[in-house]
Amino acid sequence: MSNFSVYDWLAFGWFLSNVALYSFLVDWGPTRVYTLTARMAVERRRWLEEMAMRETRIMDVNIGSGLQNGTAFFASSSLLAIGAAFTLLTTDLDFDALITSMGLPHAGAPWEPKALLLMGLYGYAFFKFGWSHRLFNYCSILLGAVPAFDTPHRAERRLALEKAIRMNIVAGAQFTRGLRAIFMSVPLLLWFAGPLFLAASITLVSVVLMHRQFNSPPMRVLQLALGEQDAGGFDPGGFDAGAGQDTSKNADNRASAGWDDEL
């Protein structure tokens, strides 16, 4: 990478800064509790608590299978992407001539390090998707270990349910990070056309991902409060701290069963 120009280094530094800032805001910073991912973690918990109230759990098994199939698809796609990036390292194609023929400015920088970075990012995505698939498998086992609702062993039941809930949330988080890596690979692909394309595309991707996490239509759907579902709309404003409260019809049953007092 010693042959990179100053503009390449500046664009790559901007890329790393955007990735680090987005990861901090979504995964580690105080704003992480206001994200779409955090809201969906609440909904995952509500789903599994409702599942535990049902005698027949066929629908929940199908949901789990759908989650596993989705992660398997992206894991396979990541492997194909790794192979495509490896092909870039062994091809005799003249990228500079190709870029010039497309009417784009001459990039000048070597393309092998860019291909290696792409391989690394796709490899990261593959491991995240593969691990997420495995965790969803574990979650299915833990779901099967949740005792029936009428069991007298309430503490053991609550513990088994909590294990399944947390495993599902962790699996979802791993899948989200793998998907993020796929999104972040798009600017690296555009880097072959020049550093300006890398800087502009990572800025655009970061803005789009931020919007999806904090102020997208799905986020506003999850902010929908009781009484708004029949009003023909809802306030698309800031975070509704009460939206994560348990308002399901089985809340009283869970309270009477002593779940809130256990573990």
- CA separation, residue 32 to residues 3, 25, 37, 125, 214 (Å): 39, 6, 8, 21, 9
pLDDT of residue 16: 96
CATH number of 11-221: 1.20.140
Residue 232 and residue 127 in contact, taking contact as beta carbons nearer than 8 Å: no
pLDDT of residue 248: 47
pLDDT of residue 105: 59
The predicted-structure confidence for 185-197, as pLDDT tens digits, reads as follows 999 988 888 889 9
pLDDT of residue 86: 85
Residue spans of the chain under pLDDT 70: 1-3, 91-109, 225-263
The predicted-structure confidence for 223-233, as pLDDT tens digits, reads as follows 886 555 544 44
Is the pTM higher than 0.95? The answer reads no
pLDDT of residue 196: 92
Q: Letter for the amino acid at 89?
A: L
Domain ranges within the chain, ordered by starting residue? 11-221
